[in-house]
Amino acid sequence: MTTCARSIGSWASAPAGSFATVCTTDYAVCVIRGWTRSQQDRRMAFVRTADGAEIYYKDWGSGRPVVLSHGWPLNSDSWEAQQLFLASNGYRAIAHDRRGHGRSTQTWDGNEMDTYADDLAAVVEALDLREITLVGFSTGGGEVARYVGRHGTSRVAQVVLVSAVPPFMTRTPDNPGGLPIDVFDGIRAGSLADRSQQYHDLADGPFFGNNRPGADVSAGIREAFWRQGLQAGHRNAYECIAAFSGTDFRADLDAIDVPALVIHGDDDQVVPFAVGGQASAARIKNARLTVYPGAPHGITDTHKEQLGSDLLAFLKEYDA
């Protein structure tokens, strides 16, 4: 239970395991005693999975639900522009932190797509969401696809893939258009050597296209990427590289039987357009492909107004 103390010094008397709120005349300053939360606070912001992991989520607005799955190595904060926009336009916008990322439990195991999809299902079922539009960015697009493959579309109205990793990023004999495994081995090596610098390098370079002539991505956007990356557990982020690069989502895409929108920039240096959006749109039955000319991977920030507008228009098609 939240306790309100009326003087600055009295917060220490609050029960252990609770939020202690210190109240002054005009505002309240929240002081957290310890790192535990009350059971009421946990119910408000976390869903506990079958293996005991706690998945943090943000639930904004009201209306038909839109569930947003984030990319690597980020968390739900990366969706804040779209979440605020959609919640302000009549939708219930929900974004969660993947296990091992952000504020969710840094589990030792379960850092693979089947578990990510089951965690998403746990959030959906705990909140009893129906007629959902599932939106996945980058790795989150794989999570959304695998959710459909494992849990079907009985609760799903629409699917949106944004700069997403499906169908299959790694080159194999039956996937000659994929990227060489050396690319992902290099990402793994960078993560082990100095992941903090790796996140700086990604944000300053290919993720937002800031290495292109004339690009001017703000320091704030780039630093937010770095900050979110370091909130992820080291093992969780490391193992997620295999999850997003080495998982074959082709059968999952074949299972999508609801309206689908695929959005991808044609200058994506992280998930190349031909490997990601173009191939996914060709595989999903009756999918619509929207291409952002010259756009990089991180269009949730660099093209947030256009992306918000396109998402809202697609949502309204179902609600018409």
Beta carbons of 134 and 155 less than 8 angstroms apart: no
CA–CA distance, 209 with 203 (Å, rounded to integer): 8
User: CB-hemisphere CA count at 13 Å for 258?
Assistant: 24
Judged on CB neighbours under 10 Å (0-12, 13-18, 19+), 262 is buried
User: Catalytic site residues?
Assistant: 138, 268, 297
CA–CA distance, 93 with 307 (Å, rounded to integer): 15
CA–CA distance, 154 with 208 (Å, rounded to integer): 35
Residue length of the chain: 320
Residue with tokens 């009756």: 286
Residue 205, both tokens: 């370079």
CA–CA distance, 172 with 143 (Å, rounded to integer): 21
- Answer positive or negative: Cα dihedral of 148, 284, 206, 291: negative
Which of 62, 41, 59, 137 is CA-nearest to residue 95? 59
